[in-house]
Amino acid sequence: MDKINKKASCLSILGTGSDVGKSIVTAALCRVFHNKGFRVAPYKAQNMSNNSYVTIHGHEIGRAQIVQAQAARVEATADMNPVLLKPCTDTGAQIVLHGKPFGNCLASDYFGDTDFLFGKARESLDTLRRDYELVVMEGAGSCAEINLREKDFVNFRMAHAADASVILVADIDRGGVFAQIIGTLDIIPPEDRRLVKGIIINRFRGDAALFDDGITYIEEKTKLPVLGLVPYFYHIEIDSEDGMPIETIIDPKEGTKDDKINIACIRLPHISNFTDFNPLIREDSVNFHYLSKPRNLNEYDLLILPGSKNVRNDLHWLLDTGWVDTIMQYKDLGRRILGICGGYQMLGQVINDPKGIEGKPGKAIAMGLLNIETILHSEKITTQTTGFWIGMEEYKIIGYEIHMGQTHSIGDGKPVMILDNRNGNDIHIAGGWQTEDGFVQGVYLHGLFDEPAFRRAFLEGLKPGLICAGKNTKSSCMSQSVFREKQYGLLAEHFERHLDVDKVANMLLLNSIE
């Protein structure tokens, strides 16, 4: 295979399967080597996720690479995730190339010919290698999917092109770790096998000494070092690629709590950017439930309709499952409803899709709770945005927008926010829409609750007195950025205790490591 002109060293983190912890290992190594004095960049040639974020330049990339860039203390760029697939149906996805929409495709079409995207991804890697000393490359899924090998450019194909050293990550918590590791190494071709320099066994529970024999067996069988046996952790919270926090409660049997602010969020089939709600989940005074099945909402203080990658499809799902009737009953009680991004669009009168962005061209009648109309366009708005909530002007809101719809008012109501900056450009425009009484509100802004001052003021308005009476833990009072920085520090400490960093550095010829 052709080689990229070697500049920065490359370390490739590949997995024995999906969700074995590749993203977390990559983030940890980014912070560990940053702490050792290296300029580090994360990289994932192609990501598949509806959990995305916007860079300072207005480019959309996977949330995991944002997390990894934050861990490395560098500004995220589109080169760190040049190809992003955002699933919008069970078999189709939107392709985001270098941070901008490139088109929609079916899985069968996508895997028909990936050479073009591979070339674009290599260009991004080449850019990173010119600007950094170390690039930590994350693979996707299992690196041993033999049926996809010729079309897969995220795993070994990119590792070969970059002359990368490969570390194989396995998850012992799911069981079968010996088969995961030895089976993967046994079925990959010899040229791939030669790139693998070590193994990380992730998510171990219990007494590590009891697995000494297991490590000996793996090392003897594979002739590779086990670089670390990393324990499962509960004390660190890192935004994940597609999963939800450990504290997440979905369709609980128990109901609301009188001494809490009770918030329900509908778990849409195509939910996106669920990280919007992690700060609420961490609040001591909040009882936060994700609900996928309709239930009596009478005792909830707020109902949230979250973002969606396929608004029209999820709107039909709400109708088919009986959710719309439940939402209408809740609204008639005079309770608060908040829609964010796709959820905001669903609260309106109609969603027009003349170009077939989310399926066949046409329109969908929405719930009619806000006097707004949305038209879907092929050009996506991706901005880092700041502003303030009307009526709470003293609290700054810092967030981001990712949407293909343009929404305008068509009747009674009033704006929710004033937006004052997009991608570094000062503006002064109204944002969102609400009913005159303010009980139904919708905005496009993701990350709405990241800043603690606004978050707590908003919550105080739902159920006065509980926020002040809460425990006010340090984590719930921190800004999201400060909270994340603390978590990256804890993550690096955890991995340094259980990983042979010197061996990793030696395989990369990073001789200046302390």
Catalytic residue IDs: 341, 446
The CA distance from 247 to 124, in Å, is 36
DSSP lists the bridge partners of residue 493 as none
Q: How many CB atoms lie within 10 A of CB 489?
A: 14
> What residue has token string 């038209």?
375
Secondary structure (DSSP) of 27-88 = HHHHHHHHHTT--EEEE-SEEE-S-EEE-TTS-EEEHHHHHHHHHHTS---GGGSSEEEEE-
279 phi, psi to nearest 5 deg: -65, -30
The CA distance from 472 to 452, in Å, is 11
> What residue has token string 């985001």?
96
**Strand, helix or coil at 315?**
helix
The CA distance from 78 to 127, in Å, is 11
Q: Please, are residues 132 and 75 in contact by the beta-carbon 8 Å criterion?
A: no
| The one-letter amino acid at 500 | D
Sign of the torsion formed by the C-alpha atoms of 213, 215, 216 and 220: positive
The CA distance from 79 to 123, in Å, is 8
The CA distance from 424 to 208, in Å, is 49
The CA distance from 244 to 127, in Å, is 32
Tokens standing for residue 369: 């709770």
Q: Please, are residues 41 and 136 in contact by the beta-carbon 8 Å criterion?
A: yes
The closest alpha carbon to 340, from 256, 405, 245, belongs to 405
Strands 271-272 and 302-305: unpaired
The CA distance from 268 to 265, in Å, is 9
The CA distance from 182 to 219, in Å, is 10
Tokens standing for residue 333: 């009680």
What is the enclosing helix (H) or strand (E) of 373?
strand 372-389
